[in-house]
Amino acid sequence: MDLYNGRLLVVDLTTGKVEINTLKEDFFEENVGGILGNIHLFEEYEEMDPLIIGTGPFTGTLFPGSCGGVISARSPLTGNLSHSPVTWFFTPEMKLAGFDHVVIGGAAEDPSFLWIRNENAVIREFPEDIIESWEITDYLRHELGDDRVQILTTGTYGFDGGLNAQIIENYWNSFERYGFGGLMAGKNLRAIAVRGLGDILLANPEKYMKGCLKVLNQTKNSPYYPEAFEKLVHSYSADPGIEEIKHRVDGCFNCPIPCRVFVKYNEPANELSSTDIEEPGMLLTDFEAFAILRKKGLNGEKAARVMEILSRKGIDPGVITSTKTNAFEGLLKEIEEISGIKEHVEGDIFLISRNNIANQIVAYTFGFCPVLSHMAEIVDYELFSQLIMDGADIEVNMVEVEGRINKITP
């Protein structure tokens, strides 16, 4: 199949069974992909208490912001089926590894990881004592012999049973807000690793690229273009305060308006070479949590150091909203002790803002980043329908899709 793989991976950690099922055209005509595909599959596999990762038609292609995937599961925090974005490079690799959706159910007896590549997957044992996210990613990349392997994991806090455990993307905080890290821990699943050496074919490459270029040019009209971290922090009425430690701006896969900044505090920020310092700093991904830390009075470096601890431990930075202290040491102590029900979880779909909500859900469906969809006016059902036609040569009933999107839009 073009544009899509037409392949679903179903993993049962309890029995160790790995199944590869076909997804036919009618699945995509009906669900498009992403969040709508995940909701459909959740109904089918609910009894496995699954964690489902979905890509959309545009994921991994030249459509701007096409790092976008979605992870869906019953939240340990709310008990509801909930959805969060997967950004950075995981879902493009998953699609290039041959899968549109991955369903992971059951629970393994021993610590394990799932290794997805070449249209196949295996469940492998994982060392009991490696439980910090950064160590997990280092270990897997070394073991699997490839630095481009993408990893979803959580950290020490998550594997110790913490409720606000977040899914970490390689080393960095994600936008996952529903305690899915704890769900991974409960499944004895230390990590999901993926590498995509395959390809995505297109029915009409020239026309597909033309449509993507049109969208790329639209993103350049965004007030956030060409880089967004500081502007987003300002939008929470906080001063970023990272001039002294700012290293370089980082974009997720094919992102035209990167919202991430790497800061260095263990070596000079203007050091451009690869030095002996293995861990010079931190990639700031969660601009909202960073803004809150700044408003608590932490300087840029201290706020970044807090973010590093949260990412290593696999703690959702959203907990910052419920911490009482604004002193660095006190905050670290509170973070250390966090265990209770979190107070900040809202709704069942992670939203970057209360504006443009439907556009964020559209992003979750078609496979681009909801943060980008918040920053740039790129949603255009007519064009998207044409792109699916140019890419996959299938016709999607956009009126129905729009109806379903509106139905789940909070």
Partner 1 sequence: MELKITPLKCTGCGACEIACSMYQDETNSTMVSSIILHREEKKNYFGIMIKTQKDVYLARPEGPEWLSQSEGASGPKPILLRPPCDGCKNREDKLCVKFCPSGSIEEGFTEEAG
Residue 259: contacted member of ligand SF4, partner 1, none (CB under 5 to 8 Å, by partner type)? ligand SF4
Contacts to partner 1 from residues 115-154, by CB under 8 A: 134, 138, 146-148
Q: 364, 401, 397, 5: which is closest to 202 by C-alpha? A: 5
Q: Binding residue for partner 1 (CB under 8 A) from 18, 130, 144, 209?
A: 209
Please tell me whether residue 379 binds ligand SF4 under the rule CB under 6 A.
Answer: no
| CA–CA separation, 256 and 133 (whole Å) | 28
| CA–CA separation, 274 and 285 (whole Å) | 22
| CA–CA separation, 347 and 353 (whole Å) | 12
Contacts to ligand SF4 from residues 222-261, by CB under 6 A: 251-252, 255, 257-260
CA dihedral 361, 363, 369, 373 (to 10 degrees): -80
Strands 281-284 and 51-55, bridge-based pairing? unpaired
Q: Which amino acid is at 240?
A: P
Angle between helical axes of 300-313 and 133-144 (0-180°, round to 10):
60
Q: 153, 29, 38: which is closest to 102 by C-alpha? A: 38
**259-288 mask for partner 1 (x: CB under 8 A)?**
---x-x-------xxxx-xxxxx-x-----
Structure tokens at 362: 């559209």
| HSE of 49, CA atoms in CB hemisphere, 13 A | 14
Structure tokens at 320: 């910052």
Pick the closer one to ligand SF4 by CB: 209 or 332: 209
> CB of residue 208 vs partner 1: minimum separation in angstroms?
9
| CA–CA separation, 306 and 127 (whole Å) | 27
Q: Binding residue for partner 1 (CB under 8 A) from 89, 157, 178, 350?
A: 89
Q: Binding residue for partner 1 (CB under 8 A) from 77, 116, 185, 255?
A: 255
Structure tokens at 253: 């896969």
Q: Binding residue for partner 1 (CB under 8 A) from 62, 130, 309, 408?
A: 62
Sign of CA dihedral 176, 256, 31, 383: positive
Please tell me whether residue 123 binds ligand SF4 under the rule CB under 6 A.
Answer: no
Pick the closer one to ligand SF4 by CB: 59 or 153: 59
Please tell me whether residue 213 binds partner 1 under the rule CB under 8 A.
Answer: yes
Q: Binding residue for partner 1 (CB under 8 A) from 44, 46, 199, 346?
A: 199
Indicate the length of the chain as a whole number: 410
Residue 369: contacted member of ligand SF4, partner 1, none (CB under 5 to 8 Å, by partner type)? ligand SF4
Contacts to ligand SF4 from residues 83-122, by CB under 6 A: 87
Token pair 């709310």: residue: 78
Please tell me whether residue 65 binds ligand SF4 under the rule CB under 6 A.
Answer: yes
Among the listed ranges 23-31, 40-48, 88-96, 382-390, the one in contact with partner 1 (CB under 8 A) is 88-96
**157-186 mask for partner 1 (x: CB under 8 A)?**
-------------xx---------------
Please tell me whether residue 57 binds ligand SF4 under the rule CB under 6 A.
Answer: no
Q: Where along the sequence are the contacts to ligand SF4 (CB under 6 A)?
A: 65, 67, 87, 251-252, 255, 257-260, 369, 371-372
